[in-house]
Amino acid sequence: MSQLTHEELQKVAVDERNASELTRGEDLPAAGVRRNRNRAQVFSVRLDPNDIAAIETIARRMDVPVSTLVRGWILRGMVEHDNGSLSNIVERLQVDVKRLGELLG
């Protein structure tokens, strides 16, 4: 497996932060919400030790657990590959436009 470059890792971190900003200001539920009432299953993936170290660094920097960070990446990737709804497409475009503004900014 090829290793991500520093720039690629930075882009992933910025994209995740921007995606989370889309829901900023929305009310949080009073109690925790579990999307899947079925018991979650573990999904094992082989990664290069350097990639794992880089992921751990990003998670520390973002102050989130590694599993939460990686789960978010996987779920986001699934949405991007889904032909999906118009709202998913609009959400992705908003994140991309914001990212472009930061790069040009």
Position 28 in a domain: no
Of 82, 77, 52, 83, residue with least CA distance to 67: 52
Domain interval for residue 89: 6-20+41-104
Position 14 in a domain: yes
Position 91 in a domain: yes
Position 58 in a domain: yes
Average pLDDT in the 78-104 region?
72
pLDDT at 31: 63
Position 76 in a domain: yes
Q: Which residue has tokens 């779920």?
A: 75
pLDDT at 1: 47
Contact 15, 99 (CB under 8 A): yes
pLDDT above 70 (res 68): yes
Q: What is the pTM of this model?
A: 0.46
- Sequence-distant (≥ 6) Cβ neighbours of residue 4 within 8 angstroms: 12, 51, 54
Position 74 in a domain: yes
pLDDT above 70 (res 73): yes
Position 51 in a domain: yes
pLDDT at 42: 86
Q: How many domains does the chain have?
A: 1
Average pLDDT in the 51-61 region?
92
